[in-house]
Amino acid sequence: MISDSPQSISELHEGQKKVVVAGQVFKFEERHTRNGFIITEFAITDKSDSIMCKCFFREDESRFYLESGQWVRVRGEVQYDHYAREIVLMASDIVPHQIEERSTWPLKSVWSCICIRR
């Protein structure tokens, strides 16, 4: 469980040690390495910006499964990835994130009328 409140992805910068972000997954990929590790990469967006997240697993470890459109909360360290040549979030914890549905319609419509006397 991640109890810290998430910060905006657009506020992240290289070198931050313990950050929490929440966002919607829009890319997910797993790759197997020659030395028995699985690299899990997924991109999330919070509509202000997006970031690639990475984590490493041994083949015998249990892993999580994500799909596009799912909302997650991620805790980890922001660092420059020399392989990807970009700043990534090295994830240490990942949990589902519930978002509040917000209506785009106003709660109350106000009509104004102007009456002209003759």
Tokens 């596009």 found at: 68
pLDDT higher for 78 or 2?
78
CATH number belonging to the domain at 9-96, selected among 2.40.50.140, 2.60.40.10, 3.40.1000.10, 3.20.20.220: 2.40.50.140
pLDDT digits (tens, 9 = 90+) for 15-45: 899 999 999 999 889 889 898 899 999 999 9
Q: Residue type at 21?
A: V
Question: In the 8-state DSSP scheme, what is residue 10?
Answer: G
Q: Locate the domains of the chain by residue range.
A: 9-96
Q: Is the CB of residue 90 less than 8 Å from the CB of residue 54?
A: yes
pLDDT digits (tens, 9 = 90+) for 65-108: 788 889 999 999 999 999 889 999 999 888 888 776 554 545 54
Count of C-beta atoms within a 10 Å radius of residue 24: 17
The predicted pLDDT at position 106 comes to 53
